[in-house]
Amino acid sequence: MGSGYRVLMRRVYEIRTVRQLREINTPARLGVFEAMLDASRAGGEGLTSREIGDRAGVSPESAHYHLGRLESIGLVERVGLRQTGARPEKLYALTCDRLELAPTRRGPAWVRELARGVRLMFNRAEREFEAASREGAFAARPTVSRSVGWMSPDDAARVRGLTREIEELVHAADARAREGGPIGCERVAVTIVTSPVERGEGSD
């Protein structure tokens, strides 16, 4: 029996401190966040740590630990209890559906942690790329695209909007697959990093 709490979240979580960034910059913790995000976009109530662990591919104990860390920075909240036998289990839900870096002053510690997060992201992308490259002859060949250009604020905003559309598309497809729906013929891993680049001396 559920808690009767339906997860309705459309808020942006702004990362403002180095501590927040450091708590999120953990591969397993990001996996927990992504698993919860998929579940919330499919609709429904909160999840137990066991359910979250199953979705994220970690043990219930590990999921419980990571949930506690995410709860400590306000990214996760407890939304009720579910009766599951001997004692009720806590239900957890995200407080947002999108992460953004707040427009705050960037000190050296912030920049170092941000760079570490980007490295972790690309390390994960590398593993996914290698896995796709090892698949059979019928698998689509992995493709890579990298572009750097000077854009107007309106163009940059359009790129960010397209990025969100791609994220929604990927998460919706993954959520359908988790619920037993039709699975597409291609596995797609999308990694997009956008950052303003200052024009230096001697730049064309």
Distance in angstroms (rounded) separating the CA atoms of residues 36 and 180: 17
Main-chain dihedrals φ then ψ at residue 154, nearest 5 degrees: -65, -40
90 in any annotated domain? yes
> Based on the domain organization, do 57 and 119 belong to the same domain?
no
CATH classification of the domain holding 47: 1.10.10.10
184 in any annotated domain? no
Q: How many domains does the chain have?
A: 2
The parent domain of residue 120 ranges over 107-178
Looking at the DSSP bridge assignments, the partners of residue 80 are 91
pLDDT digits (tens, 9 = 90+) for 99-141: 888 887 778 999 899 889 888 888 888 887 787 777 654 555 6
pLDDT digits (tens, 9 = 90+) for 79-95: 988 887 778 889 999 99
Looking at the DSSP bridge assignments, the partners of residue 99 are 13
- HSE (CB half, 13 Å, CA atoms) of 114? 15
> Based on the domain organization, do 22 and 48 belong to the same domain?
yes
